[in-house]
Amino acid sequence: MRFEKAISKYQPTIGIEVHVELDTLTKIFCPAKIDFDAEPNLAISPVSLGLPGALPVVNEKVIEYACKIGLALNAKIAEKCIFARKNYFYPDLTKNFQTSQSDEPIVYDGNIEVSLSNGKTYKIGIERAHMEEDAGKNTHVGGASGRIQGAKYSLVDYNRAGVPLVEIVSRPFSYEGEIMPQLAAAYVRSLRDIFKALGVSKAQMEKGNVRADINVSLSPIDSHECGVITTGFEKLGTRTETKNVNSFRSITNAVRFEIERQADILEAGEEVLQETRHWHENTASTSSGRPKSDSDDYRYFPEPNLVPIILTKEYVENLRANLPELPAKKNARLKLEWNLADKEFNDILNANALSLIEQTVLAGCSPDSARKWWMGELSRIAKEKNTDLEDLPITATQIAQIQKKIEDKQITDKIARQVLTAVLAGEGEVDSIIDKQGLATVSDDNALEDAIKEAIERNPDVAQKLSSGNMAPIGVLIGTVMKITRGQADAGKVRQMIMAKFKS
């Protein structure tokens, strides 16, 4: 069923769980270094291998970072919280349990506001955030697309085991159907921006530092209250959970796909299965994972090897007082400084271009020019390549350099695009590309004189008119000079030189 029809009949409700990998030097329960470039199974310790008798100790930095996240989410910080064992068997989990938190998480009851391009702001409730360890990584070899099905053998790497995570669980939310796919992505983007601002994570989506599990359900229109949902869960439809979606584009597409798919099932009078689903970027669709009941029995119990964490008011208030400027506030400031209308600013947010433009400005570019590059030419190229702006192989500094070259009249607008293409193609740095390919503006008067002479020879009729004082066709000569200099002449200067020539 088409999306528009689906949302005219059904109200989507979404809940999102986000895992963020914390950027600490060492793991959550042991002094093993976090090193994603290390050879497999070298960034480990007895604790991250779960060897018998190895005892965990909590990394203080993890507690600090979790608190900062909680404060930025306008949430409450628990005076006391404990770790718990979440029991399940999986080869990348040596202990057969994950050390996590259950009914006593460190952070609970928060909310953030998320703005969309329609100019509206939506409140998303935060139910809780807890600390936990990441598992190791299984690599299945010999099967199709890295899945275990059909694999000849599997390899396990424990370097990631014990990397600290904070899991943020939203409350379910229900707003206008047409904005739900965007809102889901905008919420995760807001969290990502907060992690970055706090400096608690590298927060690179494409590297999997931030991973989102997206729960989607449909219910008949008007069957329950909309907004942040805190009661009346029984009126919600059966949900599916699409796991580990890690780009904003994929989040939008996965939500759209699930809404259309579930609407088809409900229209046919059938029931949506409660299950996890996998997102496939190549086919822009989800496929069935494993069935999931509401009360998967993980037999949680308090971790006996870790003492409860007691946080004093003083500790928390000290962190609160030293929080950096958060994205919501920063956005308001930049919008004012850059003198932009709501729509222009929201377009930037939606294009995920804010920090790119900000960095370009910090690298010396004017806000106007920085915005033009990222929202114009670069957005067009990103769209063509079907990639996110920030994944384009070009930096804010390089854009600022190119813009400066234009302003210093070292290259023309047209050549700037050529330089941009070369940088994107990995041909080197801005300066070396201009040097090597001889793209610098021809400002040498002799060279320009030669080009103008040649242009006159090619257009005797035009030269005739200019001589008789009719300057109307001057553009033809300028155009010819540009052609002769392969676009590298400063058109303004060429005009002046031609004018001077024919005036006398």
Q: For binding to Mn ion (CB under 5 A), which residues are involved? A: 167
**Minimal distance in Å, beta carbon 84 to Mn ion?**
12
**Minimal distance in Å, beta carbon 327 to Mn ion?**
24
393 half-sphere exposure, CB direction, 13 A CA radius: 11
Dihedral pair phi/psi, residue 372, rounded to 5°: -60, -45
Q: What is the C-alpha separation between 209 and 192, in angstroms, rounded?
A: 9
Looking at beta carbons only, is 34 or 166 nearer to Mn ion?
166
How many CB atoms are closer than 10 A to CB 26? 18
Q: What is the C-alpha separation between 474 and 295, in angstroms, rounded?
A: 79
Residue 323 in tokens: 């929080």
**Minimal distance in Å, beta carbon 112 to Mn ion?**
20
Looking at beta carbons only, is 135 or 420 nearer to Mn ion?
135
Looking at beta carbons only, is 167 or 490 nearer to Mn ion?
167
**DSSP string spanning 81-108?**
E--EEEE---TT-TTSEEEE--SS-SEE
Looking at beta carbons only, is 167 or 358 nearer to Mn ion?
167
**Minimal distance in Å, beta carbon 79 to Mn ion?**
23
Question: Strands 275-280 and 240-245: what pairing?
Answer: parallel
Q: What is the C-alpha separation between 104 and 90, in angstroms, rounded?
A: 25
Looking at beta carbons only, is 12 or 105 nearer to Mn ion?
105
Instruction: Tell the residue number behind the tokens 């997102």, with chain if given.
Output: 279
Looking at beta carbons only, is 167 or 303 nearer to Mn ion?
167
Sequence letter at residue 295: S
Dihedral pair phi/psi, residue 444, rounded to 5°: -65, 115
Looking at beta carbons only, is 127 or 167 nearer to Mn ion?
167
Looking at beta carbons only, is 21 or 490 nearer to Mn ion?
21
158 in Cβ contact with 41 (< 8 Å): yes
Q: What is the C-alpha separation between 416 and 400, in angstroms, rounded?
A: 11
**Minimal distance in Å, beta carbon 19 to Mn ion?**
6
**Minimal distance in Å, beta carbon 132 to Mn ion?**
5
Cβ neighbors of 336 (< 8 A, separation 6 or more) are: none
Residue 83 in tokens: 């770790």
464 half-sphere exposure, CB direction, 13 A CA radius: 4
Looking at beta carbons only, is 7 or 203 nearer to Mn ion?
203
**Helix, strand, coil shares, percent, the chain, to 5:** 40, 20, 40
Instruction: State CA 491 to chain mean position distance.
Output: 40
**Minimal distance in Å, beta carbon 165 to Mn ion?**
7
Cα Rg of the chain (Å, integer): 29
CB-count burial class (<10 Å; 0-12, 13-18, 19+) for 471: middle
**CA torsion through residues 261, 264, 265, 267, sign:** positive
**Minimal distance in Å, beta carbon 134 to Mn ion?**
9
**Minimal distance in Å, beta carbon 317 to Mn ion?**
29
174 in Cβ contact with 237 (< 8 Å): no
Nearest residue to Mn ion, using CB?
A: 167
Looking at beta carbons only, is 167 or 258 nearer to Mn ion?
167
Q: Nearest to residue 177, comparing CAs of 419, 360, 8?
A: 8
Q: Nearest to residue 82, comparing CAs of 326, 383, 253, 308?
A: 308
Q: Nearest to residue 276, comparing CAs of 250, 251, 241?
A: 241
Looking at beta carbons only, is 12 or 15 nearer to Mn ion?
15
Looking at beta carbons only, is 131 or 328 nearer to Mn ion?
131
